[in-house]
Structure 1
Amino acid sequence: MDACSEHWVHDSKVALRDADVDYFRVSSWIYWRDFLVSIALAYTAAAVYLTAEAWSAYQIIAFPIAVFWLYRAGSLVHEVAHLGEHEMRAYKVAWNLIAGVMMLAPSPFFSAHHRDHHTHRLYGTKQDPEYIVNCFRRGNWTSMFGYALLVLAFPIIVTVRFIITPLTFLHPRLRTFVLTRCSSLMMNPYYVRRVSKADRRRITAVELLTCIRATLIPALVLLGINQWSRIPMLYSLGISVLLLNQLRLLADHHFESDGTKMTPSDHMHDSCNFTGRDFFTWLLYPFSIRFHALHHLFPSLPYHNLRAADQYLMQILPADSPYRDLQQPSWFAVARKTLATVDRSAGSRNPTAT
């Protein structure tokens, strides 16, 4: 792609950075409001679901409410990952203690690989941890069925991973292997995490707390404090939240990479902004993260300003700006293409995870 075709990316960045409104300013009260409201409603509904009489109206009604709000509260890990190292430290600690540890999804197990996903050098390659077609062959239903089985097993795999945390300290090589290959909340089998000394400290701090949380799940059942049904009930919550996230991942991008490094323009065109008002867009893209292409263009742009920033760019950019091509009408149109497209070249370079 020639240099001229890359200008629109630069022009879009200049236009937003030179705007009269500071779209990059983080509003801490919005972060706290969204987190506290989401977690309060999630845990209240989950408590009703877990304690109500089996198959009662209370339990049946509480379940989808709990899943919806747990998904929203958990989605804020994405915002934690994009905050600066010294930005809103109290918020990061609170989110991890109240949400991340309790949901077995602390942010140090997400932040590093998510930053790699945003790197032009890695985006769309086999080392992109979140490029979902690295995990199955598009259009190959056997491969996708294997991936679906992995998704179903993932909550169990994660729980066991945290329970056996003490064993990972038995040998330095084992510890290094676990940190680089088993400490990222994603399913790309090719991804190898880079771990610095600071990463080791951050991981260990939340890992030990999450180990206690994970161990308590079977321990309280064995001690007779909770009934055995608590385990499948927790699994039902976990897998439902995970399935919502997997549905979202099907349409964040078009997944048209050939496995090589992409230009910034191709990177942006491989990503989607959802401007429609369909049910799935509302359900799967909380906190305005539906503007995913804009987010990849400006990773540091706070989620609460994405909609306003998109509207500003649509007003100020030329009518023929390629930025306008990033807009998609609905989640379903992109997700259907992700599942159905037969990509033989992708099949040869991205063997199935199973």
Structure 2
Amino acid sequence: MVTAMGRFSVKEAHDLLRGLFRPRMAVYWTDFTLSVLLAGVAFWAVQPLGGLTVLGVAAFLVSVLATYRCFAFIHEIAHFRAKKSFGPFRMWWNAVFGIPMMVPVFLYECHGEHHNRKLYGTAQDAEYLPLARMAPSNIVGLLITPLFLPFFGPYRFAVLTPLSWFVPRIREYLYSNASALKLDFEYRGRQPTDEEKWLWRGQELLCLAWIATAATLLAVGVVPPARLAQWYALFVTVALLNSLRLLAAHRYLGDEDEMSIVEQMMDTVNHPRARLLGELWAPVGLRLHALHHLMPGLPYHSFPQAHARLVAGLPEDSAYRLTESLGLTLSLRRLLREARAHKRAGTLLERSPLKEVST
């Protein structure tokens, strides 16, 4: 593996992908808009079809997968936020999905650190933990946290946000501890810049208004409590799918030191097989995650063609091929196996992703 990494040329790979780096906004608008419509219709259909009937469960599963696909677009927005063509799409995503789901786009401003050569895999990377070098219980713990995630939005935007208007210390805490979509609960975020401050606060206010409206509709009986329970189940299931996807996306072998682009690629996993199934549990290009870390400026709709070009154009012993996994289950098993091996060897790291779940 070390020899293959030493021979790998990022420039050669980049040259093979010429012409694939321009985002096609029509694809983004169509894909997301159809997904959010499908999610809404399927969510509504659960009750008239009967929540525990075969058709009702099928509608619920469709709403979960469509909602999950909608959520995945925040990743693309984070990568292309500097492009003017993404401005209207970013606003559309935030208006019809981000705000209603209480995951406004500013919560993902930290994603750039996950691709920074100096920050990837370190304590300053919100989306990474050296899980393969930690106790297996941490992996299990990350699969339990989705049960609590539906409460984050109401607590963050309906409790802490209005309190922070009057208590500066709470606002500082809010941006440091509760304004990032993160895997590492010990991660500390930054304060917004002067330019970002009012954009972030505007999104906070819209989330608060959404929660207040939903609470009022529940209180007066316009929305039945069963719909709240359905929304909770939806959120938990989407979060669980995303947690499984995150655990399979990397090998998590980092030791919190800097990694080069090639090292990042080798610590990341591609799942090119079972493409249709892969699009369900790792949508919007996320199943080819090693390709993404190699070429973070590549739009998701170019991933299949880009992967095919790299496989055809790079040598058979290329390091890129070593990033491939046969499937989600095998990736999860490998991660558990690595963690157990480190536990037996007594070389576990002390950091715990569950340390602050209760705070």
Q: Distance in 2 between matches of 1:270 and 1:168?
A: 39
Q: Distance in 2 between matches of 1:125 and 1:75?
A: 24
1:218 aligned residue: 215
Which letter does structure 2 place at the counterpart of 1:106?
Answer: P
What do the CA deviations read for 1:56-102 (whole angstroms, capped 9, x no partner)? 45432311111111111111111111114223211111011011111
1:177 aligned residue: 173
1:79 aligned residue: 76
Change in 2 beyond 3 A, CA 1:325/1:53: closer
Which letter does structure 2 place at the counterpart of 1:193?
Answer: G
1:351 aligned residue: 352
What do the CA deviations read for 1:164-210 (whole angstroms, capped 9, x no partner)? 22112113332122012111122422211123223323321212111
Shift of 1:5: 4.7
What do the CA deviations read for 1:297-319 (whole angstroms, capped 9, x no partner)? 11111100011111112222233
Contact 2:119-2:258 at 8 Å conserved across structures: yes
SS in 2 for 1:121: coil
Q: Distance in 2 between matches of 1:224 and 1:170?
A: 32
Is 2-11 or 147-156 further displaced after alignment? 2-11
2:91 aligned residue: 93
Contact 2:16-2:310 at 8 Å conserved across structures: yes
Q: Distance in 1 between matches of 2:321 and 2:272?
A: 11
Change in 2 beyond 3 A, CA 1:140/1:172: same
Which letter does structure 2 place at the counterpart of 1:216?
Answer: T
Change in 2 beyond 3 A, CA 1:298/1:202: farther
SS in 1 for 2:57: helix
Change in 2 beyond 3 A, CA 1:47/1:11: same
Pairing 1:273–2:270 present? yes
Please show how residues 18-29 of structure 1 align to structure 2 within 5 Å: 19=18, 22-29=19-26
2:252 aligned residue: 255
Change in 2 beyond 3 A, CA 1:240/1:5: closer
Contact 2:183-2:353 at 8 Å conserved across structures: no
SS in 1 for 2:204: helix
Q: Distance in 1 between matches of 2:61 and 2:8?
A: 42
Contact 2:130-2:256 at 8 Å conserved across structures: no
2:187 aligned residue: 191
Query: Which residue of 104, 107, 128 corresponds with 2:105?
Result: 107
Q: Distance in 2 between matches of 1:9 and 1:201?
A: 43
Please show how residues 8-47 of structure 1 align to structure 2 within 5 Å: 8-16=8-16, 19=18, 22-47=19-44
Shift of 1:30: 0.5
Shift of 1:146: 3.9
Contact 1:12-1:313 at 8 Å conserved across structures: no
Change in 2 beyond 3 A, CA 1:96/1:149: same
TM-score between the two structures when normalised by the length of structure 2: 0.88
Q: Distance in 2 between matches of 1:5 and 1:61?
A: 45
Pairing 1:119–2:116 present? yes
Is 119-128 or 294-303 further displaced after alignment? 119-128
Structure 2 unmatched runs, 5+: none
Which letter does structure 2 place at the counterpart of 1:275?
Answer: P
Change in 2 beyond 3 A, CA 1:187/1:315: closer
Contact 1:138-1:338 at 8 Å conserved across structures: no
Q: Distance in 2 between matches of 1:149 and 1:324?
A: 33
Change in 2 beyond 3 A, CA 1:349/1:12: farther
Is 66-75 or 285-294 further displaced after alignment? 285-294
SS in 2 for 1:131: coil
How many pairs are equivalent?
348
2:136 aligned residue: 140
Contact 2:43-2:60 at 8 Å conserved across structures: yes
Percent identity (aligned): 29
Structure 1 unmatched runs, 5+: none
Which letter does structure 2 place at the counterpart of 1:157?
Answer: F
Is 34-43 or 76-85 further displaced after alignment? 76-85
SS in 2 for 1:161: helix
Which letter does structure 2 place at the counterpart of 1:153?
Answer: F
SS in 1 for 2:85: coil
Contact 1:137-1:351 at 8 Å conserved across structures: no
Shift of 1:129: 1.0
1:264 aligned residue: 261
Is 216-225 or 86-95 further displaced after alignment? 216-225
Is 342-351 or 25-34 further displaced after alignment? 342-351
Q: Distance in 2 between matches of 1:171 and 1:270?
A: 42
Q: Distance in 2 between matches of 1:6 and 1:89?
A: 39
Change in 2 beyond 3 A, CA 1:212/1:133: farther
2:234 aligned residue: 237
TM-score between the two structures when normalised by the length of structure 1: 0.89
Which letter does structure 2 place at the counterpart of 1:183?
Answer: S
